[in-house]
Structure 1
Amino acid sequence: MSVTWGEYSPFDPGVTQPLHEVTRREARAAFRRLMDAKDERVLEVRRLLADNGVTLASDDAGLQAANDWFRSEVEGDPQTGRLRNEWYAVVNDLALFLGDVMIERCPNLMWVMFDKGKRDIAFQRHVIMGFARVPNPKYNVDIDRLLATYGHRIVGGEGVEADAFVTWVAGSVAKC
């Protein structure tokens, strides 16, 4: 594992607690801050991948190249069993990119702050919604959580899909 971090800097969400633990006002402010910074964050992860020899592109070949890089480079913290801190920033930025690819391919999809139930795992998180081909109006894709879980499985030595990014985007588009 040999990531060239260069000038990469993590996003500061402005909150220090998990989003389901903050007030609605704080969560909305964090969501607005993230959406306002989304294009910048995608550029940041695009530069990171370019510094590591990967072109981040929205076609399937570009998604696969990003997926291959992530699978080969993501690192865990052996003391905590979690991803190394900088990798959560990469997960967030890659998730924004993947979500935008879903929206690009299916324009009725959109980023929303999920506020449809305090018990939902996605409560107050940034998710993709607007899926017309599912009966549940609360159906969402929490691509950030999905990607973090993927990273955990990789560093844990579990088997993972080699083409997850392509599969996630195609699956979301099929439901829109």
Structure 2
Amino acid sequence: MNDTYVIFDPKVDRPLHEMPRNDAKAAYNWFISQKDERIEVLKRYAHELGFSLDDEFNAIEQLHNLLVVEVHKDSVRDVPSTRVFSLCNDIAIFISEMLVRNGSSLQWTFYIANENDLSYHRPVITGFNVKNNNYSVDIDYVLCQYAHRLSQGGNQEEGLLRRIYESTISKAHRKK
């Protein structure tokens, strides 16, 4: 097997919420410019592993299994590997792009609504049909937390990625 997976380099040296807004915004813009390439990296890696991301809804389960396998490769440890964090990022981009395509009002946003929010200065999905105008979804953050739990011996949650997608899309305006 020729491991074609290239780890994502976010080009930042500290958590985004600690960065000055201009630097965090530049990191966001760079991230957005890379998301299509990251999906291609993930597609090539999936192909190498023997599955396709073309049927997105079925691919969600395969991506979940891939993430669990990658975490378990590292065995139980304090934090996931850089590779696992990169996979979380790429899987989150893949699912987020599905959401943006299937929810007419959804879009990527540089989150600045609340400095105390865990997603402050991060790329999130916004535009939901909910009362809270600042409501956002940060799938990368959720997946990284899941990877942390798994890497520390936590249980796998069957269907987690599908539930994340379905719960999120249910709050979006539908395309007509």
Question: What TM-score, normalized to structure 1?
Answer: 0.89
Q: Judging changes above 3 Å, is the alpha-carbon distance between structure 1 residues 5 and 29 closer, same or farther for their aligned structure 2 residues?
A: farther
Q: How does 1:72-151 map to 2 (within 5 A)?
A: 72-75=69-72, 81-132=78-129, 134-151=130-147
Q: After superposition, give the CA deviation of every residue in 1:12-70 in whole Å (9 maximum; x if it has no partner).
A: 22211100011101111111101011100110111112212222245321211211222
Corresponding residue for residue 47 of structure 1: 44
Q: After superposition, give the CA deviation of every residue in 1:130-165 in whole Å (9 maximum; x if it has no partner).
A: 001x21111111100101111122222222321111
* Distance in 1, Cα, partners of 2:145 & 2:22: 27
Stretch deviating more after TM superposition (54-63 or 146-155): 54-63
* Distance in 2, Cα, partners of 1:5 & 1:106: 36
Identity across aligned pairs (percent)? Answer: 28
* Distance in 2, Cα, partners of 1:164 & 1:54: 19
Deviation at 1:112, TM superposition (A): 0.6
Contact in 1 for aligned 2:89/2:140 (Cα 8 Å): yes
Unaligned segments of structure 1, at least 5 residues: none
Which of 146, 151, 154 lines up with 1:155 in the alignment?
Answer: 151
Q: Judging changes above 3 Å, is the alpha-carbon distance between structure 1 residues 57 and 167 closer, same or farther for their aligned structure 2 residues?
A: farther
Which of 56, 63, 68 lines up with 1:66 in the alignment?
Answer: 63
- Quote the RMSD (CA, aligned, Å): 1.9
Corresponding residue for residue 174 of structure 1: 170
Contact in 1 for aligned 2:67/2:87 (Cα 8 Å): no
Structure 1 residue runs of 4+, over 3 Å off? 75-80
Stretch deviating more after TM superposition (49-58 or 16-25): 49-58
Greater relative contact order, per chain length (Cα 8 Å cut-off, separation 6+):
2
Stretch deviating more after TM superposition (85-94 or 34-43): 85-94
